[in-house]
A and B are shown apart, each in its own frame.
Chain A
Amino acid sequence: MTPSDAFSVRVRQCAERIAESHEAALAGLYDLTALRLVRYAVTITRNQHDAEDALQTSLVRVAADPNLLLRTEKPWPYLLRMVRNDSLVILRRKKRVFFVPNLNDLLTHCGVDEQAQEETHRAIWSALRTLPIEQSEVVVLKIWESMTFAQIAEVLELSPATAASRYRYALEKLAIRIRAADAEVSP
């Protein structure tokens, strides 16, 4: 069982609880998925506020009809797709997407033992924002969601080969940009 499939089992359990106890059980699904969904939505909307709106819209729809997740074989990829669609709707509603070069709109958190890593984290998130959305979302699904290219292809509705090639292009660009950022920090 892949990590994505294992996570799907937990998402399904949350959806079952929502079906039994209605919206009162939504907190469980929120706690399980919010961090993952927000960071995925942020790579699409390029803005934390819009990403949170997309997440809220999707989770409210699940609370109103938990069968959306219960009917599907793989609830986690389905929920990711819901958030992706809601993020794209928000993006389309905006006439223009402004590229934000800094991370000021993001709510970041760094543990006490990770202070030394913060520069790297910032460099990575900044570099991710410079990628085209179709490449950055593949990186997020591959690395943070531990999905296979076949699973990513299912979420993004494209071929596994396309997902793989987007990932490769994205990593090549990220490697160049992160090295450049490192060189700036430590000349």
Chain B
Amino acid sequence: MSIDTTRSHEESFDPEFVEIERAILASGQYVHPSDDLRPRTIEAAREVCRDQRMLRSAGVGAIAALVLALLSSPVVERLNHRHSRSLSPTAREIEQQAMELSMRAGIGPEWALSEAFNALRKDQAARFGRRSF
């Protein structure tokens, strides 16, 4: 037997089934959902969507914090570097100062280096004193 698979329910295989199909069709509304299913479903959907939104905003916050940390780390590093440089001069800077003093005052470089260290010590002591009090 060949079957036409595109037939709708009005077309039955057999006339004997027409009546039964009609009876089944008529009983389609006999079973219905319970009254509390509607509010239950909407409330459950609300909860799931709320959780989803919270999760999404937490994720966005975490990404924003990460991006901020990544962007600010070079700036912080540079500031730290500048700060440490301003507190104590490098050996090359002290040497430079000694050379300048030697030429300006007409003294030997060893003596000029000693004077430069003395000046540095005085400067550090003054700074330390300012901070302590």
Contact of B20 among A2, A30, A56, A174 (CB under 8 A): A174
**A86–B27 alpha-carbon span in the complex (Å):** 25
Asked if A27 is at the interface (CB within 8 A of a chain B CB), the reply is yes
Q: With a 10 A CB-CB cut-off, give which of A55, A121, A122 has the most chain B CB atoms.
A: A121
Whole-angstrom distance between the alpha carbons of A108 and B34 in the complex?
9
Minimum Cβ distance to chain A for residue B66 (Å): 26
- B residues 22-59 in Cβ contact with A at 8 Å: 23-34, 37-38, 40-42, 44-46, 48-49, 52
A146 engages B8 (CB within 8 Å): yes
A63 to B40 Cα, complex, angstroms:
13
Indicate if A76 sits at the interface (CB-CB under 8 A). Answer: no
Q: Would you list 21 pairs from A and B whose C-beta atoms are within 8 A, ordered by A residue?
A: A2-B8, A3-B8, A23-B46, A23-B49, A26-B42, A30-B41, A30-B42, A34-B38, A60-B41, A63-B49, A64-B52, A107-B32, A109-B30, A109-B32, A120-B26, A144-B28, A146-B8, A148-B7, A149-B6, A161-B3, A163-B5
B17 within 8 A of A: yes
Instruction: For residue A67, give the distance in angstroms from its CB to the closest CB of chain B.
Output: 13
Residues on the B chain within 8 Å of A144, using CB: 24-25, 28
Main secondary structure of the interface of B (DSSP, over half): helix
Is B21 located at the chain interface by the 8 A CB criterion? yes
> Is B13 engaged at the interface, CB distance under 8 Å to the other chain?
yes
Q: Is the beta-carbon distance between A124 and B8 smaller than 8 angstroms?
A: no
- B31 and A175 contacting across the interface, CB-CB below 8 Å: no
Query: B30 near A64 (CB under 8 angstroms)?
Result: no
Since A23-B48, A60-B44, A164-B5 are in contact, a sample of 18 more A-B pairs with Cβ atoms closer than 8 Å, ordered by chain A residue number, is A2-B8, A22-B49, A26-B41, A27-B42, A30-B41, A30-B42, A34-B37, A34-B38, A48-B34, A63-B45, A106-B31, A109-B32, A124-B24, A139-B24, A142-B9, A143-B25, A146-B9, A150-B5
Partner of A117, one of B26, B40, B41: B26
Residues of chain B having any CB pair with chain A under 8 Å: 3, 5-9, 12-13, 16-17, 20-21, 23-34, 37-38, 40-42, 44-46, 48-49, 52
Contact present for A48 and B5 (CB under 8 Å): no
Contact partners of A175 in chain B: CB under 8 A: 16-17, 20
